[in-house]
Amino acid sequence: MQTHLRGRDVIDFQEWTRDELDTVLDVAFALKRDRALGQPHPYLRDKVLAMLFFFASTRTRASFEAGMAQLGGHAQFIESRSTQIAHGDTAKEIGEILGRYNDGIAIRNVDWGIGNRYIRDVAAASRTPVLNMQCDLFHPHQALADLMTILERLGDPRGRTATISWACAKTYSKPLSVPQSLIMLLPRFGMNVRLVHPPEFGLMPEMLEQARENARLGRASFEVLDDFDAGIRGTDVVYAKSWGAVLTTDDEAEEARLVEKYGSWIADERRIATASDDAIYMHPLPAERGVEVTDGVIDGPRSVVYDQAENRLHGQKAVMALTMG
């Protein structure tokens, strides 16, 4: 149990040690138990978290707001387009000013090539911790909730296999942040990871190298496949979601053609049946039903998507309590 986390930023959990992550998990499960028992835990009484959104949100906003309220504090919703941020407030000014008004700053900015850099610029200027609610590169709090769910459902993850796969989706080009966070976090806990995607939908090479190193240190394996069926066969976790072809093209029409090319990449009952007997299906939501996943899978007995969504609350509360307390 680590007790020195007050004031720490959470931009990418790769920057946190395994001991520190274990502390977050311990606190998260304790807070989840307290919530189930109706035990109050106002560790952040009179604290205020500024939540700055450059991108729409459902679960992220709701879970951070509810979490701050349950911890005895207040979450301040700030939308970039309805403030002076849209008219010239710089990252330095946001860090300096919101860091003086508030006890923490949480930011969601997924603009490719901009989001992570913006969050780090705010953090450099802020006197209070900065929490990444999702950027173009990482989604640490989603990965934390996913790990919690795997631990709850499968127990000790060492030696288990998680398939992080691309799946078809047609509404918009989704960030690389979820798969990149997962392939780096899960091997640190001893999970074997299969990254599965069509050739045109790769992740950043430096993230792959870090995932391989994490797997080596975690005595696990990391492999990259381009066969959806092979990736799911025998796995313990089927985490199939869409992400954009941003490393291949910046042309929206070309990306749409690529998505159509791989329209058969859907998590369906036939594929899920080839996974291990106790395999679980995961997705961070919202999912494109009938495109990314069938109703029978996402609403079926293997699906843990609502457990993942709930664990966003508990994991984030642990992070806020430890860093903002």
95-125 tens-digit pLDDT: 999 999 999 999 999 999 999 999 999 999 9
CATH of residue 114:
3.40.50.1370
Residues 99 and 159 in one domain: no
Indicate whether 4 belongs to any domain: no
Residues 156 and 243 in one domain: yes
Residues 115 and 210 in one domain: no
Q: What distance in Å separates the CA atoms of residue 255 and residue 177, rounded to the nearest whole number? A: 18
Residues 166 and 289 in one domain: yes
Residues 109 and 146 in one domain: no
Residues 94 and 154 in one domain: no
Residues 148 and 282 in one domain: yes
Say which residue the tokens 């205020």 belong to. 48
Question: What is the residue range of 245's domain?
Answer: 142-308
Indicate whether 8 belongs to any domain: no
pTM higher than the cut 0.85: yes
Give the pLDDT score at 81: 85
Number of domains making up the chain: 2
Indicate whether 201 belongs to any domain: yes
**Residue range 162-210, pLDDT digits in tens:** 999 999 998 888 999 999 999 999 999 999 999 999 999 999 999 999 9
Residues 166 and 93 in one domain: no
Residues 158 and 301 in one domain: yes
Ordered alpha helix ranges (H), the chain: 18-37, 59-70, 91-101, 115-125, 140-154, 177-185, 205-217, 228-232, 252-261, 269-272, 295-298, 305-324
Indicate whether 217 belongs to any domain: yes
Residues 212 and 274 in one domain: yes
Tokens standing for 70?
């349950």
